[in-house]
Chain A
Amino acid sequence: MQTKDVIIEKLTAAFAPESLNVLDESDQHKGHSGHRPGGQTHFRVYIVANAFAGKTRIARHRMINEALEAEIKGGVHALAIHATAPGEGSA
């Protein structure tokens, strides 16, 4: 299974998001020390979920980092996060 699909599956299970978009941006980081052949190292997550309502930015990132702990400790080198609650504007 592609890392992107694992990320989508885990975030969906953890937060039942209203919307979720995961981009694999690994190709933009070719030549950078964190990039590996085959990619799947750099991701960007746009997620809108009720679970983030009333939470600080740090708390939201921690929630996502915990859900994806295995991936971050594994091959994922970078994870850009845009986490909002419904009604907060664009993620």
Chain B
Amino acid sequence: MSINQFIDNEVKSNDVVLFMKGTPQFPQCGFSGQLVQILDYLGTPYKGINVLESGELREGIKAYTQWPTIPQLYVKGEFVGGCDIVREMFQAGELQTLLKEKGLTVQGNAVA
């Protein structure tokens, strides 16, 4: 399986996927850590994938969406954004709306 196939499979077989540096339990970059905090706050289940485990994965995810930075958040197979975009969406309530529209659980009436 090529790296692109691996990424594509992860993105399409998981509702919410966060490509990040480190793990949700131990983020190794402040930007990745911010998105972990947001997702944990919302209580939406997600899969964290540590790009630091493989140079191929780290470069592959940038090519996959033509997006040069990490973290990257995908919901139901679609690229949502990186750190700034997801945080802005969360603060505006748009992330919560997006997740709900996709049929995903958002804890209570979580707002920014």
Which A residues fall within an 8 A CB radius of B?
Answer: 29, 32-34, 57-58, 61-62, 65, 69, 72-73, 78-82
Contact = CB atoms under 8 A, between A and B. Distances in A.
Main secondary structure of the interface of B (DSSP, over half): mixed
B97 interface: no
Interface of B: 28-31, 66-69, 79, 81-85, 88-89
A57 B69 CA distance: 15
B69 A79 contact: yes
Contacts of A80: 83-84
Contacts of A78: 31, 69
B60 to A, nearest CB: 15
Given A57-B81, A62-B66, 15 more contacts: A29-B30, A32-B29, A34-B29, A57-B84, A57-B85, A61-B81, A61-B82, A62-B67, A65-B69, A69-B68, A72-B68, A72-B69, A73-B68, A80-B83, A82-B84
